[in-house]
């Protein structure tokens, strides 16, 4: 599904990713953990194609295709989805209208007609039930005045609507209370299949109790310094990141 | 509306005949310059009664004493008023023989706006065959209106056919001496629309939707007079979403609305005159005076979408004279490249319990400057007057400007005035968020801009709103790299 080779990326003069290697296969859940500033969000943004970051070395492949010259929207059309750590507000644009636009743009890129209104409504109903979203919520302006939990739930709702091949959840657990966390995790688990993959970026182990990863990677100073199974997350929780820093001093 | 082809042809044949009537004056254009003789000659050409000629002359005298205002936040080369020809008969000769000769960029825009081929031809000045000519459609609508006693015709026709109404109301809201451009317009106005809704009548259709094409070429000095008699209602649409590449650089229109007791006028404008090219050359100067008068319990709503013109100077206003009267102003002004707009409204509260609402949305892109200038005035006798103003600016890029000049003058302690203003910028983060969801940058901007403008777009009649939305998208195309 996703293959990253020796990825280096920088913003302005600052190198943030310093040689990332990562392979994610269909049907897998990977967790990426690491202290603040280790490059987790940058990695997510680079995979999604944010132009602010310059890739200086290495490649990102999605289903065997090099994404080097692919625009963010084309990556989205190919099935990359990023659940943002800080979802932006778009005043005056309802969640429904935003989703309608997003879905139809993706369809257009694939040479399909707009989704008929009836099907769209059905899809919205189905997915909003999955995430226990009140229908009224969907007519509100995108993220405007949303609580932290509402924003994150809305991100996962969008993920459910767009049915991506590769979903990257960037700190989806931050700002969530325990009930919201359960709903969001539940949603992600239901969307998981043998054909798609999920990368969960998180600071804490908490979310991983609900979305159980097949692999856990620890990112530190722009590199993956340790990989393992879900037990690694528990170990980290117990010993803290300092333990790793000591262990990986080169 | 079932209309057989046969009827249509017949109607058009008679129309041709009507055109023939004008043939002898068609080719003449007056020499450049403005003096009393020219004013008299304009009036004569239009076969106006003496009172109208005298009114024009009086206006001219006033104009001569006035100086061009400089207070607006716009910079431009002042027009040489002696280098303009003040009368040019409607030109019937097509500019092109077929659409193939028309600027492909213009045609592309027409296509995006979803304008039919025949309309495209009309708008671009291409000869039209016998097809769904809007003139004939217009005539049948006129019949429906006439049954209700509604008068809807050109102002020239009204001066001849309904002199008592014109004489009573022309200049009653925008006096000749009101401002430099209004005085000029009063002296030399070319043509425009006249509308009268009788007592208690609700106009059954949006006026002028079907007249879009005819409106396109009304000339430099348009004069509009709308009178809604007691308890009547009318929704009036002005302008055209299609880009009008007018050769006239200066446009100075005057619009007067009169809403008598319990009447309501909704006046919607979409303005898309040539804004000049990307380097800021050419483009129309749009200096308009629009004002409405509300008598007791009357209501006037101005809704405008301004995307065109190189320089815009425009303040649709309401004089809330009658008790309990209501004035509303909803505006979207878009400036791109080197466009400059200084636009807003004036709400003059004279009567008791008068209410006004101002929602202004300014969108600036490129190197443009967009100013909101508004006055809320509460006079001493206007007890319990209320106003709510909201001015939002949206910036795109780093080289444009947004300015807000709110003036508030209150002479009555019971007044309640609220003013809110925001300025925001379309951020890279917003764009990236949309991109990530599969929405490309152009579409993302359109989405954000439409969201920003929603409160105003919602006030437009449905059909107009859809066009206006597309227009916003087109106006801002390519404005974020």
Chain A residues within 8 A of B437 when measuring between CB atoms: 76, 98, 102, 105, 158, 162
Domain boundaries, chain B: 134-475
Q: Tell me the C-alpha to C-alpha distance, in Å, between residue B465 and each of A26, A165, B241, B270, B271.
A: 46, 38, 10, 10, 13
Considering CB atoms only, which of A97, A102, A141 is closest to B438? Answer: A102
What is the chain A residue with the closest CA to B432? A50
Verify whether the Cβ–Cβ distance B450 to A50 is below 8 Å: no
What is the chain B residue with the closest CA to A103? B438
Beta strands in B252-400 (DSSP E): 254-259, 264-271, 285-294, 299-306, 311-314, 317-320, 326-335, 340-343, 346-349, 355-364, 369-378, 386-395
**Which residues on chain B place their C-beta less than 8 Å from a C-beta of chain A?**
427-430, 432-441, 443, 447-448, 450-455
Of A25 and B21, the one with more pLDDT: A25
How many whole angstroms separate alpha carbon B78 and alpha carbon B12?
43
- The answer to whether residue A238 scores a pLDDT higher than 80 is yes
Angle value at C-alpha A87, between A86 and A93, nearest 5 degrees = 155
Verify whether the Cβ–Cβ distance B440 to A105 is below 8 Å: yes
ipTM tops the 0.90 cut: yes
Helix (H/G/I), strand (E/B), else coil: B356: strand
What proportions of chain B, in percent to the nearest 5, are helix, strand and coil?
A: 30, 30, 40
How many whole angstroms separate alpha carbon B233 and alpha carbon B381?
28
Q: What are the two backbone dihedrals, phi and then psi, of residue B66, each rounded to the nearest 5 degrees?
A: -95, 160
What is the chain B residue with the closest CA to A44? B436
Whole-number pLDDT of residue B72: 80
Helix (H/G/I), strand (E/B), else coil: A104: helix
Whole-number pLDDT of residue B385: 97
- Both tokens assigned to B394: 């949206």
Contacts of B188 (CB under 8 A, 6+ apart): B34, B38, B39, B42, B56, B60, B86, B87, B221
What is the chain B residue with the closest CA to A92? B451
Alpha carbons within 13 A on the beta-carbon side of B1: 13
Nearest to B160 by CA among B284, B43, B271, B61: B43
Helix (H/G/I), strand (E/B), else coil: B397: coil
Considering CB atoms only, which of A52, A77, A88 is closest to B433? Answer: A88
Angle value at C-alpha B310, between B305 and B314, nearest 5 degrees = 50
How many whole angstroms separate alpha carbon B401 and alpha carbon B394?
10
Nearest to B99 by CA among B127, B141, B73, B71: B127
- Both tokens assigned to B96: 């092109």
Distance from the Cα of A110 to chain B's closest Cα (Å) equals 11
Contacts of B442 (CB under 8 A, 6+ apart): B473, B477, B478
Q: B319 near B284, Cβ under 8 Å?
A: no
How many whole angstroms separate alpha carbon B289 and alpha carbon B349?
19
- The 8-class DSSP code of residue A209 comes to G
How many whole angstroms separate alpha carbon B460 and alpha carbon B450?
13
Q: What are the two backbone dihedrals, phi and then psi, of residue B261, each rounded to the nearest 5 degrees?
A: -45, 135
What parts of chain B have a pLDDT lower than 70?
1-29, 88-141, 208-219, 240-248, 280, 463, 478-481
CA B384 to chain centre: 32
Which letter, b or e, does each residue of A35-60 get, where b requires 16 or more Cβ atoms within 10 Å of its Cβ? beebbbbbbbbbbbbbeebebeebeb
Verify whether the Cβ–Cβ distance A90 to B435 is below 8 Å: no
Q: B277 near B245, Cβ under 8 Å?
A: no
What is the chain A residue with the closest CA to B448? A90
How many whole angstroms separate alpha carbon A18 and alpha carbon A10?
9
- The answer to whether residue A149 scores a pLDDT higher than 70 is yes
Instruction: Tell me the CATH number for domain A2-93+142-247.
Output: 3.40.50.300
Which letter, b or e, does each residue of B7-30 get, where b requires 16 or more Cβ atoms within 10 Å of its Cβ? ebeebeeeeeeeeeeeeeeeeeeb
Average pLDDT value for chain A = 92
Chain A residues within 8 A of B446 when measuring between CB atoms: none
CA B7 to chain centre: 33
CB neighbourhood size of A243 (10 A): 12
Each residue of A72-84: pLDDT tens digit? 999 999 999 999 9
Whole-number pLDDT of residue B104: 67
Whole-number pLDDT of residue A163: 94
Chosen for mutation from A67, A71, A81, A101 (greatest number of chain B CBs closer than 10 Å) is A101
Q: Which residues pair with B387 in a beta bridge?
A: B356, B417
Verify whether the Cβ–Cβ distance B437 to A102 is below 8 Å: yes
Verify whether the Cβ–Cβ distance A50 to B438 is below 8 Å: no
Between strands B340-343 and A2-11, the pairing is unpaired
Contacts of B390 (CB under 8 A, 6+ apart): B358, B359, B360, B419, B420, B421
- The 8-class DSSP code of residue B478 comes to T
Between strands A54-62 and A2-11, the pairing is antiparallel
Q: Which residues pair with B184 in a beta bridge?
A: none
Verify whether the Cβ–Cβ distance A93 to B451 is below 8 Å: yes
Q: B273 near B239, Cβ under 8 Å?
A: no
Q: A114 near A104, Cβ under 8 Å?
A: yes
Whole-number pLDDT of residue B131: 31
For chain B, the distance separating the N- and C-terminal CA atoms, rounded to the nearest angstrom, is 47
Domain boundaries, chain A: 2-93+142-247
Chain B residues within 8 A of A159 when measuring between CB atoms: none
Alpha carbons within 13 A on the beta-carbon side of A238: 5
Whole-number pLDDT of residue A66: 96
How big is the A-B interface in CB pairs under 8 Å? 73
Whole-number pLDDT of residue A125: 92
Whole-number pLDDT of residue B210: 40
Chosen for mutation from A77, A92, A105, A114 (greatest number of chain B CBs closer than 10 Å) is A92
Distance from the Cα of B287 to chain A's closest Cα (Å) equals 31
Q: Which residues pair with B421 in a beta bridge?
A: B391
Can you give the C-alpha Rg of chain A in angstroms?
18
Q: A211 near A183, Cβ under 8 Å?
A: no
Whole-number pLDDT of residue B118: 58
Contacts of B286 (CB under 8 A, 6+ apart): B251, B271, B273, B308, B309, B311, B312, B313, B314
Distance from the Cα of A73 to chain B's closest Cα (Å) equals 4
For residue B52, give the H/E element and its range: helix B50-65
Whole-number pLDDT of residue B19: 26
Sheet with A197-202, side-by-side order of all strands: A80-83, A166-170, A197-202, A29-33, A215-220, A223-228
Residue bearing tokens 């300092």: A242
**In terms of C-beta density within 10 A (0-12 exposed, 13-18 middle, 19 or more buried), how is residue B70 classed?**
exposed
**Which residues on chain A place their C-beta less than 8 Å from a C-beta of chain B?**
48-52, 71-73, 75-77, 80-82, 84, 87-88, 90-93, 97-98, 101-103, 105-106, 109, 141-142, 158, 162
Q: Tell me the C-alpha to C-alpha distance, in Å, between residue A231 and each of A23, A227, A234.
A: 19, 10, 5
In this structure, chain B runs to a length of 481
Give the distance between the most distant pair of CA atoms in chain B: 68
């Amino acid at each position: 599904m996703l293959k990253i080779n020796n990825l280096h990326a920088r913003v302005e003069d600052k190198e943030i990713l310093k040689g990332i290697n990562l392979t994610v296969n269909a049907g897998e859940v990977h967790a990426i953990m690491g202290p603040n500033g280790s490059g987790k969000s940058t990695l997510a943004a680079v995979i999604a194609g944010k132009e602010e970051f310059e890739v200086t070395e290495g490649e990102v492949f999605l289903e065997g295709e090099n994404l080097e010259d692919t625009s963010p929207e084309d990556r989205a059309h190919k099935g990359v989805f990023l659940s943002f750590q800080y979802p932006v507000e778009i005043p005056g644009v309802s969640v429904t209208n935003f989703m309608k636009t997003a879905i139809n743009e993706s369809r257009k890129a694939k040479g399909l007609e707009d989704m008929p209104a009836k099907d769209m409504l059905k899809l919205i109903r189905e997915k909003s039930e999955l995430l226990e979203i009140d229908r009224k919520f969907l007519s509100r302006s995108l993220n405007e005045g949303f609580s932290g939990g509402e924003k994150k739930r809305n991100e996962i709702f969008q993920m459910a609507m767009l049915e991506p091949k590769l979903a990257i959840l960037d700190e989806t657990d931050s700002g969530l209370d325990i009930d919201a966390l359960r709903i969001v995790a539940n949603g992600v688990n239901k969307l998981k299949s043998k054909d798609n993959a999920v990368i969960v970026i998180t600071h804490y182990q908490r979310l991983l109790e609900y979305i159980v990863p097949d692999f856990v990677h620890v990112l530190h100073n722009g590199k993956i310094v340790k990989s393992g199974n879900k037990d690694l997350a528990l170990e980290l929780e117990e010993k803290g990141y300092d333990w790793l820093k000591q262990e990986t001093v080169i | 509306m079932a209309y057989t082809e046969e009827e249509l042809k017949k109607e058009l044949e008679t129309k041709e005949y009507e055109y023939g009537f004008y043939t002898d004056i068609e080719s003449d254009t007056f020499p450049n310059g403005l003096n009393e003789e020219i004013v008299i000659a304009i009036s004569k050409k239009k076969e106006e009664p003496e009172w109208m000629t005298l009114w024009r002359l009086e206006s001219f005298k006033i104009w001569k004493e006035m100086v061009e205002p400089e207070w607006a936040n716009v910079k431009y080369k002042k027009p040489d008023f002696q280098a303009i020809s003040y009368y040019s008969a409607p030109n019937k000769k097509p500019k092109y023989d077929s659409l193939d000769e028309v600027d492909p960029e213009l045609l592309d825009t027409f296509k995006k706006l979803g304008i039919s081929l025949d309309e495209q031809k009309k708008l671009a000045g291409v000869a039209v065959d016998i097809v769904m000519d809007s003139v004939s459609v217009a005539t049948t609508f006129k019949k429906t209106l006439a049954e209700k006693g509604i008068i809807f015709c050109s102002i020239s026709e009204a001066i001849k056919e309904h002199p008592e109404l014109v004489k009573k109301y022309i200049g009653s809201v925008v006096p000749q001496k009101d401002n430099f451009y209004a005085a000029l317009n009063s002296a030399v106005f070319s043509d425009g629309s006249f509308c009268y809704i009788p007592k208690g009548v609700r106009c059954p259709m949006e006026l002028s939707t079907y007249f879009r094409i005819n409106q396109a070429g009304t000339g430099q000095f348009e004069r509009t007079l709308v009178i809604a008699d007691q308890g009547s209602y009318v929704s009036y649409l002005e302008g055209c979403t299609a880009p009008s590449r007018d050769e006239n650089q200066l446009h100075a229109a005057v619009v007067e609305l009169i809403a008598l007791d319990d009447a309501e006028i909704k006046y919607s404008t979409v303005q898309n005159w040539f804004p000049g090219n990307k380097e800021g050359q050419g483009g129309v100067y749009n200096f308009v005076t629009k004002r409405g008068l509300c008598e007791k319990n009357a209501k006037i709503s101005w809704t405008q979408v301004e995307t065109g013109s190189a320089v815009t100077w425009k303040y649709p206003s309401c004089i809330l004279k009658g008790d309990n009267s209501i004035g509303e102003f909803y505006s979207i002004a878009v400036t791109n490249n080197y466009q400059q707009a200084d636009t807003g409204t004036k709400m003059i509260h004279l009567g008791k319990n008068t209410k006004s609402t101002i929602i202004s949305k300014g969108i600036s892109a490129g190197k443009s400057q967009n100013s909101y200038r508004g006055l809320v005035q509460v006079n001493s006798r206007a007890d319990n007057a209320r106003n709510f103003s909201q001015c939002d600016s949206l910036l795109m890029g780093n080289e444009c400007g947004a300015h807000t000049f709110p003036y508030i003058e209150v002479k009555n302690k019971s007044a309640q005035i609220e003013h809110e203003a925001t300025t925001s910028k379309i951020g890279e983060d917003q764009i990236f968020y949309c991109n990530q969801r599969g929405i490309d940058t152009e579409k993302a901007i359109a989405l954000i801009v439409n969201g920003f403008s929603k409160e105003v777009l919602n006030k437009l009649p449905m059909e107009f709103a859809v066009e206006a939305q597309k227009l916003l998208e087109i106006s801002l195309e390519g404005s974020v790299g």
